[in-house]
Structure formats: C-alpha cells, structure tokens
Structure 1
Amino acid sequence: MHAELKQKIEDKKSIIGVIGLGYVGLPLISAFFNKGFKALGFDVDPAKVDALNAGKSYIKHINSKEVTDWRESGRFEATADASRMAEADVLLICVPTPLSDSRDPDLAYVEQTTESIAKTLRKGQLIILESTTYPTTTRDVMLPILEKSGLKAGDDFYLAYSPEREDPGNPDFTAAGIPKVVGGYDPTSLDLATTLYSQAIVKVVPVSSCEVAEACKILENTYRAVNIALVNELKTLFDRMGIDVWEVINAAKTKPFGFQAFYPGPGLGGHCIPIDPFYLTWLARKQGLTTRFIELAGEVNSRMPEYVITRLAEFLNENGKPIKGSKILLLGVAYKKDVDDPRESPSFVLMEELLRRGADLSYNDPHVPKLPKMRHHDLPAMESLELTPESLQEQDCVLIATDHSAYDYEFIVKHARMVLDTRNATVNVASEREKIYKA
C-alpha cells in the first residue's frame, strides 16, 4: 500500500482532501491544484461550501477567479458531507484550535474531525494534521481515535503532522513558497508526507517525529510573542520618558547582526501568536513545570489594549473631554495590515472597553465591511463608516489600531480633530503633527 500510494502521489493522481476551508485550507488547495492535483474540500459551514462551489471566494488573498478556475477544471469540489472523506487518498486537517475560557487548549474541532475521519477511514489513506497544537497531540489525541476504526497506523493507514505556515497579506510568501516542516508517526508515514508536500511546496524539511514538528510551530510563534512583548514593554517605558520607541527600533535594526526588529502595537492578533504560547504553558503545567518567561510575555501583550485605552483617556483629558460620550472612530479591525482576517484582533478588546466606558463608537476597515460575530466578544452589529472630511471632523478622536496601506494618513490627520496612532502609521505625515498622539 505504501508503494502504491507513493506512486499515486508522484503521478499526481491522488485526491487531496482538505478539511477546514479557511485561511489555511484554501491556500493549500491552491498549492496542490496548481500542481495538477484533484482536491476535495470539506467544511461544516454550508455557506462556505456553497460559495466555493459557485466560484466565489470569501478570503481576500484567494480571489474568486481562482476559485472559478478550480471549479471549471473539474478538479475541485467543496462539500459538507463527511462520509465522502473516504474518496480522498490524503486528508489534510486545517481546523481551528482555539483556547478555552480558562486558556487551556481546546481540541474539540480536531477531535470531532478525527472522529469523522475514523468512521470512513480506509486502508492506504494518509492523514496529516496541520492545525497548530501542542506536542503529542497527533500521537496521543488523534491516533487512538483513528485506531478505533480497527486499522493500525503505519500498517493500514499513515499519520503525520506538518504545521501550517501562513503569512496573510504578504505577497512574497504563498503556501507553496514557504518551506514545510514534516514529522511522521513512523518512517513510512514520514516518507509519504514528505513525498506529498514535495509535489507542491518549495522545500520540505523532514524531522524525526510528530512531536518535533509540533514543537517547532510552538517555538516559532512563542519566539515572536516574546519579542513583541519585549518591545511592547519598552514602549510603555519609553513613552513615560518621552522617547520614540519606533525611532529606537529603526536605529537598532541598522546593526547587521544580533538584532531582529519587532514592533509594538495595541495587542496581539491572529490565530497563532496570541494562542500558541498558552499551549506551551499548559503543557508545562502537566509536566509539573512553569514557563514564567512565556507567561510574562503573555501578560505584557494582553495588557496592551488597556494601555491604549489609558493613553486615550489621558489625551482626551488634555482636550477637556472624558471617554464617556466622546465620538471615537477606530481604524482597522483586522489583526494585521492589508488582510481581512479579524481572528483574535486586539481591536475587539479595544471596542468592548470603549463601549463599556460609554464612548460613541464607530469603526472603519476597508477589508472588513461588516463587523463579524466573534467567539469571545460581544459587540453590536456595525458597518464600516465611510471616511469623508465630514465623518472624520465629527470624531473627537480617530484611533489607528491597524495600519492598512489603503488609508490616506495625510487625509485622515488633516480632517480629524485628534489622532491616536498605535502603529506609527502617521510617521510620514508632514503637517498638523500637533493633532497626533502615540500609544
């Protein structure tokens, strides 16, 4: 079976099933489709399935023309029917792995998906988890569920882990252009997973186990979280001292060795960096250890929205206004610039706190025309406010939370009464600097 599946992959005759048609799943489909594979997409959301089968994309960096091409080729179909998972030779799992209310890993989506696979699991299939998780998930959580089918991993089916690596909004890094780390349950599974990704990904990096691949993803994102926490903490200190942290970072990054620039902001967003370090602290507690360094970084980053609100209150106070009753326009609800992805965005924390304090709140985001429903945030239905001279002049403060390239910052500063900039977006605005405050 191993040789047969490997040959089928190399001949591009294997069907690639992708479970979870979101910001990770759709780029994966694109990567394999572009290399001649047939793809079958699975999602529990019928709206996503219907949109894709109609040739429409709901993700900015996968355009509708591309999805239309998939459909017209006859090599792609989306479905909500989990029983069709048996049709795929390879199943790539790209489902959410959020945190629970107590900040413990919530593997409900992974477990439910694995249960669905187990019901139709057949001999010769390759199952790969891509969702970000903690080390041992593939072996200790997925494997027992899959083997309830009566089939044995390494003999009847194959199992591997390969962490997703996406950088939404960065045109230099597509799913096909980012090296793939792969760990297998056994050497045969590793060989098949490496062969698979080698057909569509620029470089494959095999490692000795699923656990190493899982830990690699956690390291990558914890590294970023810790370094962002460092500059966030320095920002609060340097603000107190009247030093521009952005100028400090720009000076430091001229050093050609021993320094990598990270930038402060109003908090952490996205589906990885705010979450992954807590997976590691949870795992450490299970081992009877503490990860104080990582936990401290999480605390620093989690405090940043509160710091922004405090600075806003100070600056409004200087102008004789309280937050309560003030008209505040928040720019950007996506978690990073030039994307339409709002997951874990600190903007939602800012909005909740502003509403709690009685602000008259509105928002603008060219990539998010309607405020989406978020799992952990309770906000009223809102639509993006058009930026006009009149709408800007009506605001007591414009708060820049996400520095989208589409914004004309000269225009914004010109017409706003006051701008609170959390991203250094107004650095090149030449006039009316007295209106700009940093946080």
Structure 2
Amino acid sequence: MTADVVVLGLGYVGLPLAQEAARAGLSVIGFDINDAVVNGLNEGRSHVDDLSDDDIAELLRHGFRATTDESAIAEADAAVICVPTPLAEDGGPDLRPVISATRTIARQLHPGMLVVLESTTYPGTTEEVVRPILEEGGLVAGRDFALAFSPERIDPGNPVYGMKNTPKVVGGLTPECTDRAAAFYGRFVDTVVPAKGTREAETAKLLENTYRHINIALVNEMARFCHELGIDLWNVIEMAKTKPFGFQAFYPGPGVGGHCIPIDPNYLSYNVRARLGYPFRFVELAQEINATMPAYVARRAQDILNEDSIAMRGSTILMLGVTYKPDIADQRESPAVPLAKQLMRMGAEVRYHDPNVATWDVNGTELTSVTDLDEALASADLTLLVQNHKTYDVDALAASAKRFFDTKGVVTAPGAHRL
C-alpha cells in the first residue's frame, strides 16, 4: 500500500480529517467526484471556511493529493466516507451519495482494508446498507476487512474544538473492527471513545443533535409567550445560567440552520416511524416549532412597522447576516432564506448585508450584498439582525437605523426591539 488513508468527500468534514491525518505523518489521498474541488485543492485553493489556502499548501507539502481517479482507493489501508447526507423528501437521509461512495470503494476493496462511514445517517445504515455493498465482491466484513462507523463532529467556525481535540466516537461491526478503527483514529485524534457497535455510534450523533434541537425549540416557544407577557427572556436565561448545575443555556433565534440541527433529528424520527410505526413526538414537535420561527419573526417585523403606521407591503427591510453561524460563509439551511421569502411574500423589498456573502440566492432571485451599509441603514424602514457577525457593532448599527429588530439578543441600544 502506498497510502495510509483515502478520504472520500473533500468538504467541511473530509478536509479537516485529511489535514490532521497528514499533520500526524499519515500519507493521505483525497477522492472527490467534483473536478473543480479536486483541481482547486491540487492548486492550493480552499473551498471551506475552516481551512485557508495556507492550510491547503501545508497539506500539499505533507504529500496530500486530491484525485477523481477511483483506482487510487486501492492504494490505501483505510477508506473514510465523508460525503453529505441531505434530507430526502420522505424525511429520511438521502443515501445516494453514501451508496455511490460505498460502491466506489467496493470496486477497489482489498483484504485487510478498513472502511469507516462518517456521514450522519439513521441507525443501521453501516450494517444494512454499506456492508452488503462492500461484500458483493466476496470479501466478508469483520473477517476479510474491517468496517466501522465514526460520527463526524466538525463544528465549522469553532476556534476551540477541531478534528484533533474533539473526542472521536468509534463503533465497529465487531469488537475487532472497533479496535482497528480506534487505532487508526488514535494516530491523529487526542481521544478515541469506543462504542458498543455501529448502531450505538450512529445513534450517539443523532442524540447529540436531537438534544440541541429540542432545547432550542423550548426557548423559541418561550420567546413567543415571554414577548406577549412582557418578560425579557434574554435576562431570564442569564439568570438561569447562574445556577452551577442542572442547567445549560440555549437561546432563541429566527430559526435553526446548518448541516446538523435542522436535519439530523429527522433521521431518528424517520427511523422510529419506519421501523416501529409510531412518531418520535419530541423531535416532531421541536421541528414544528423551529420551522415556524422565520414566519414568527416576519410577523414581529410587521408589528414593529405597524406601530409607526407603516405597511409591510412596499417597505424596505435590511437583513444583516444571512449565514447559519456567525463569522463563516456557510449558508446551509440558514433561516435567513425562509425569513426573506416570508418578508417578500408579505410585500417587502428585502435587501441584505453580509461581509462573508457577496451574492445570495433567495427563491431564484439573486441579491447582492449592499456595499454602503450606512446608506442602507438610513434608507431601510426596518433593519433586522439575523446573524451577529463579529464585524458588526450592533449598538452603533441600531443607533443609525430607523428601526432595529434584533433576533440574537445582543443589542443594548434604547429603542431597539429584541426577539
């Protein structure tokens, strides 16, 4: 073998994995079906927030190479699948990328190889979907090759926790498979945590995100009735945080976004319904609450305008920040999109500003970030803070705006409205 590992899928999960493995001295090949991604990486260009062009240059110096040639997979001792699993129409994961990557590995599978799935999915995928495909050529998982699941825990934009210092859960098809996968990750991850098996590892990831999903829904629902009762929920949360045990703070917002929270809990709900025939009620209620937050924020915006006898129809609303997290360019599942659509349906002219997003597609309409923020603030009937990027001086922005609606609970300027 000429490579320690081949990483299939060179996005926000696969690239950080390749980076840490290469830094630890492993020989790494990156495989992707996207020619532009592969060519860009081989020329030293990054396409993800967490890695700069300098990081890619370092990766290349360590011997990393990206390729669209699947025969390179046969050169590796281990293959790690890091492809996306978007939400399918039936509420479950769209496994087509996983199936395609697995078939690609199956054509190059050799005795002694380790195959690990990192893509988030429902419990049973590794054993029931990935394993049969890999075994079609006659090799048997757990005997001729090792098979495991290790959930990705990448948090884009997190300055503290990354691939190396975030504990890595690993669950193998057999105890021996777990040991093999744990030894592999132990070469470049500080802490490896063995799971009982693949299903436990798959479910652990879903529990992590379902926990957040449900608690965000709790505070989102509280935001609605606290507003009606004249209670400052943001202050309530700060007070609750003073308890040194038994409480973890979650915060309301215009909706949930990203690759995990709005999507992953649905995989668990889908699996429960499909296999057991009854709903996972906590998840479905949380989804209902969180999915309606953009519409709620739009109604609150309408109320703010109505207080000054201004109709939503024909008004100009400036949205600040359209990414799903602060200080990154990632827009996946950002609540800014359904919020903008709702405002447009209500007749508003929507403009936006985001230092990380030059152009923004909303329902087929391409918007361009305003270049003169001061002018945009002065002319907008309402300025709506959707994402609090660190470059924003929120109180100064609120002071310059005609009306300011803060959905992130950070403004202290008098006269501004908060969710």
Query: After TM superposition, is the score higher than 0.5?
Result: yes
Please point out which of 267, 285, 294 is paired with 1:305. 294
> Take 1:119 and 1:352, find their aligned partners in 2: how far apart are those partners?
45
Aligned-residue offset at 1:70 = 1.6
Per the alignment, residue 110 of structure 1 pairs with 98
> Take 1:150 and 1:179, find their aligned partners in 2: how far apart are those partners?
34
Contact 1:252 1:259 in 2 (8 A): yes
Classify the secondary structure of the residue corresponding to 2:319.
strand
Classify the secondary structure of the residue corresponding to 1:381.
strand
Q: 1:5-404 to 2 correspondence within 5 Å?
A: 14-73=3-62, 75-286=63-274, 287-371=276-360, 378-404=363-389
Where does structure 1 differ by over 3 angstroms across 4 or more consecutive aligned residues? none
Structure 2 stretches lacking a partner, 5+ long: none
Aligned-residue offset at 1:340 = 1.8
CA offsets 1:130-171 (integer angstroms, 9 cap, x no match): 111111000001111111122111122111000000122221
Please point out which of 418, 423, 427 is paired with 2:403. 418
CA offsets 1:348-372 (integer angstroms, 9 cap, x no match): 1111222222221121111222226
> Take 2:195 and 2:213, find their aligned partners in 1: how far apart are those partners?
24
Q: CA RMSD, aligned part only?
A: 1.5
Contact 2:185 2:192 in 1 (8 A): yes
> Please, which moves more after superposition, 218-227 or 17-26?
17-26
Classify the secondary structure of the residue corresponding to 1:215.
helix
Contact 1:92 1:127 in 2 (8 A): yes
Normalization by structure 2: what TM-score?
A: 0.96
Contact 1:334 1:345 in 2 (8 A): yes
Structure 1 stretches lacking a partner, 5+ long: 1-7
CA offsets 1:1-55 (integer angstroms, 9 cap, x no match): xxxxxxx9xxxx8522111111111111111111111211112222211111111
> Take 1:400 and 1:131, find their aligned partners in 2: how far apart are those partners?
32
> Take 1:99 and 1:274, find their aligned partners in 2: how far apart are those partners?
9
Q: Alpha carbons of 1:81 and 1:325: their partners in 2 closer, same or farther (altered >3 Å)?
A: farther
Aligned length: 418
CA offsets 1:193-244 (integer angstroms, 9 cap, x no match): 0001111111000011000000100100000001111111111110111111
Contact 1:253 1:259 in 2 (8 A): yes
Classify the secondary structure of the residue corresponding to 1:160.
strand
Contact 1:352 1:379 in 2 (8 A): no
Classify the secondary structure of the residue corresponding to 2:366.
coil
Per the alignment, residue 3 of structure 1 pairs with none
Give the AA of the match of 1:404: H
CA offsets 1:242-294 (integer angstroms, 9 cap, x no match): 11111000000100011010111111111111111111111111212321122
Give the AA of the match of 2:312: I
Classify the secondary structure of the residue corresponding to 2:368.
coil
Give the AA of the match of 2:107: K
Aligned-residue offset at 1:323 = 2.0
Normalization by structure 1: what TM-score?
A: 0.92
Asked whether 1:438 is paired with 2:400, we answer no
Contact 1:16 1:90 in 2 (8 A): yes
Contact 1:364 1:387 in 2 (8 A): no
Contact 1:183 1:210 in 2 (8 A): yes
Give the AA of the match of 1:65: D
CA offsets 1:332-360 (integer angstroms, 9 cap, x no match): 11111122211111111111222222221
Give the AA of the match of 1:329: L
> Please, which moves more after superposition, 106-115 or 206-215?
106-115
Aligned-residue offset at 1:95 = 0.9
Give the AA of the match of 1:414: A
Asked whether 1:407 is paired with 2:396, we answer no
Contact 2:22 2:59 in 1 (8 A): yes
Identity %: 46
